[in-house]
A = this chain, B = another copy of it.
Amino acid sequence: MTEDLSAGLFHFELLATEGPARAGIFHTAHGPLPTPLYAPVGTQATVKSLTPRQLAEAGAELVLANTYHLYLRPGAEVVARLGGLHAFMGWPGPLLTDSGGFQVFSLGGGRGHKSLRTIDDDGVTFHSHLDGSRHRFTPERVMEIEQLLGADIAMVLDECAPPDDYDYNVQALRRTHAWAERCQAAHTRPDQALFGIVQGGIFPDLREESARVLTEMGFPGYAIGGLSVGETKAQLLDTLALTTPLLPTHKPRYLMGVGTPEDLVEGVARGVDLFDCVLPTRVARNGQAILRTGRLNLRNARFAEDSVPLDETCACYTCQTFSRAYLRHLVMAKEILAATLLSIHNLHTMLTLIKELREAILVGRFEDYRAAFWEARKREA
């Protein structure tokens, strides 16, 4: 089905490359997505503390929502009856839903904690973190849920294994590939692109196998999963560098759940087209501002009478209107507006950075931009 539409919907136009770095456009039913691209996360059908209007003003193009959370509350059938996720949350642009698998596997609990889920070859049974009620995700049920939500991009159900456990990854990969096939068979919605997810931990042979199997299945896009879950930064970057060349050139590549400024620069340098991360809004709620060169913790007393904006070069509403001293006051007074204004700034910073990376690739100056980025960080450190 996606093949029939390859000239239009879900077509990935590759506009320019510089080494592994790529700039392109991915076409969705809710508009074109310029890549590389950074997607803010709206877990419960809201990017926390921001209106869709503020989100658009900050420069967002694609928003991610979490299937696990929306399945539990308010329920995928409810969202569908209310016109689907776009109408429900008032976001007119493209949306992406994950499969819920990552959240469900995170219910595993640590050493000495009771696990809230059990996995078998057919799917995963889990208990809601909200009320303890019992639920089951199979590849088919997850496809049903994601199609009810109706995002422009949906993800297959996969199993996310500890990145450095080889035997575990061998087993998880077998399941992940079988589930990808079942997801593909169950997925019928023509206005929704279903992305495959390459797993394999930090092991080159497993990543190679996973990329080969999933490429043969023919998805309109591919995620690189199982990273940023415990491995070192060097392992993440090495795994990325070896995985992206194994994927089809003319399909977008999505690095899930990764997104500091430096991750963006180095991910793009290794051929990633799409990122998402809760970081900008999560650290905002914790009183932190993201700058390209580091972070400001506004609880620090040195900001108490600091009359300059968070970033004097930033064009966001927060920096154009408020001082660090005011933002610190809001943080110390536990005011909701602190989260909103810091989220606006943090997202604007990330979204502007990714746009600049794209522009740099388009004019063949990505490596210059990358060098300048690291130079500026060194100066500030």
Contact = CB atoms under 8 A, between A and B. Distances in A.
Contact of A326 (B90, B305, B322, B340): B90
A374 interface: no
A19 B112 CA distance: 75
A50 B305 contact: no
A304 B74 contact: yes
Contacts of A317: 51, 53
Contacts of A49: 336-337, 340
A69 B338 CA distance: 17
B321 A52 contact: yes
Given A51-B317, A51-B340, A335 B78 contact: no
A103 interface: no
A350 interface: no
Contacts of A53: 317
22 contacts: A44-B330, A44-B333, A45-B326, A46-B335, A48-B335, A48-B336, A49-B340, A50-B337, A51-B337, A51-B341, A52-B321, A73-B333, A74-B325, A82-B305, A82-B325, A83-B307, A88-B323, A88-B325, A88-B329, A90-B321, A90-B326, A340-B340
Contacts of A51: 54, 317, 337, 340-341
The 9 closest A-B pairs by CB, nearest first: A49-B336, A90-B321, A46-B337, A44-B333, A74-B329, A46-B335, A82-B325, A90-B322, A88-B326
